Structure 1
Amino acid sequence: MRSSITVTGDADPTLAWSRYEHLVLWPTWSPQISDVIAATPSLSTGLTGLVVGPLGVRVPFEVLGVDAEAMEWRWRVQYGPAHAILEHTVRAAPGGCSTCLVIDGPAFVVLGYRPLAQLALRRLVRRDL
Structure 2
Amino acid sequence: MRSSITVTGDADAALAWSRYETLSLWKTWSPQISDVIAASPTLATGLTGLVVGPLGVRVPFEVLDVDAEAMEWRWHVRYGPVRATLEHTVRPAPGGCSTGLVIDGPPVVVLGYRPLAQLALGRLVRQDL
Q: Same fold (TM over 0.5)?
A: yes
Q: Distance in 1 between matches of 2:29 and 2:81?
A: 27
* Amino acid aligned to 1:115: P
Secondary structure at the counterpart of residue 77 of structure 2: strand
Q: Match of 1:120?
A: 120
What residue identity is the alignment partner of 2:83?
H
Q: Write the distance in 2 (CA, Å) between the matches of 1:30 and 1:83.
A: 20
Q: Which amino acid aligns with 1:110?
A: V
Task: Quote the residue 1:65 is aligned against.
Answer: 65
Match of 2:33 in 1: 33
Q: Distance in 2 between matches of 1:81 and 1:91?
A: 33
Q: Report the TM-score when normalising by structure 1.
A: 0.99
Unmatched 5+ stretches in structure 1: none
**CA distance in 2 between partners of 1:100 and 1:58 (Å):** 24
Letter in 1 for 2:38: A
TM-score relative to the length of structure 2: 0.99
1:51 Cα deviation after fit: 0.1
Provide Cα deviations, 1:46-99, integer angstroms capped at 9, x if missing partner. 000000000000000000000000000000000012210000000000000000
Partner of 1:77, secondary structure, is strand
The corresponding residue for 2:13 is: 13
Give the RMSD, CA atoms, in angstroms: 0.4
The equivalent residue for 1:88 is 88
Q: Which residue of 1 aligns with 2:44?
A: 44
State percent identity of aligned pairs.
Answer: 84
Q: Report the secondary structure of 1:36's partner residue.
A: strand
Distance 2:30 2:40 in 1: 19
Q: Which amino acid aligns with 1:121?
A: L
Matched residue type, 1:122: G
Distance in 1, Cα, partners of 2:81 & 2:30: 23
Counterpart Cα distance in 2 of 1:96 and 1:82:
35
